[in-house]
Chain A
Amino acid sequence: QKEVEQDPGPLSVPEGAIVSLNCTYSNSAFQYFMWYRQYSRKGPELLMYTYSSGNKEDGRFTAQVDKSSKYISLFIRDSQPSDSATYLCAMTGGTYKYIFGTGTRLKVLA
């Protein structure tokens, strides 16, 4: 069993839709939870992070962490074609050794 599980998709949604991206994990020592966006053939770009449990909002993006269920989510409101990319969740217990999910490919259709 992988430490971090993420549905690879692809996920196709119409422009303006609310997108929900999720990861589950097995290691209860994880405390920092990050979301990265990666365009094709580019490096990952840090979108948001959450420490421990709770919600965090930044513009159209909301990150949620439920440590009791070992489940994290990223919501994108009013999705745009420019949001089309691969979204990677990453987590760590307090070092720079991030454990990544496989990434979910998102396509927002105009």
Chain B
Amino acid sequence: DAGVTQSPTHLIKTRGQQVTLRCSPKSGHDTVSWYQQALGQGPQFIFQYYEEEERQRGNFPDRFSGHQFPNYSSELNVNALLLGDSALYLCASSQGVVFHEQYFGPGTRLTVT
């Protein structure tokens, strides 16, 4: 049973560019959340997708947007990249309302130069 997968593993972008990160949830899971983890910090919630809609959002600007597909996979898009966007981006999947079980992928490390 495959867990949460994310691509790419690493990414280097230039300030001002746009980036798309991808996530496939654990088998049987229908909800995807995205988190940003800066070096030495805990993950911070960006937003959550369920039934192809954004259901909840954290304190991130509109430059951060997402999408969920009918097969439950998801994308995170970040526009007009800033140096401060450099971080590990984590995707987490879960099922229904089982709030205590959210499983994380290995993350995509984004470096903005």
Footprint of B on A, CB under 8 Å?
4, 6, 8, 32, 34, 36, 41-46, 49, 51, 88, 90, 92, 94-103
With contacts A46-B102, A102-B41 taken as known, whether A97 is within 8 angstroms of B58 at the C-beta atoms is yes
CB-based nearest A residue for B94 = A96
B48 contacts partner chain A, Cβ-Cβ < 8 Å: yes
* CA of A75 to CA of B35, assembled, Å: 26
* Pairwise interchain contact B42-A95, C-beta atoms closer than 8 A: no
* Sampled A-B contacts (16; CB under 8 Å): A32-B100, A42-B106, A44-B43, A45-B104, A46-B101, A46-B103, A88-B42, A92-B99, A96-B99, A97-B58, A98-B33, A98-B35, A99-B45, A102-B40, A103-B40, A103-B42
* Pairwise interchain contact A43-B102, C-beta atoms closer than 8 A: no
* Pairwise interchain contact A102-B42, C-beta atoms closer than 8 A: yes
Interface size, B (range) = 20 to 34
B44 contacts partner chain A, Cβ-Cβ < 8 Å: yes
* CA of A98 to CA of B40, assembled, Å: 17
* CA of A100 to CA of B42, assembled, Å: 5
* Pairwise interchain contact A96-B31, C-beta atoms closer than 8 A: yes
Contacts of A44 in B (CB 8 A): 43, 90, 104
Which residues between 97 and 112 of chain B lie within 8 Å of chain A, taking CB atoms?
99-107, 109
B56 contacts partner chain A, Cβ-Cβ < 8 Å: yes
* Pairwise interchain contact A96-B42, C-beta atoms closer than 8 A: no
Contacts of B4 in A (CB 8 A): 43
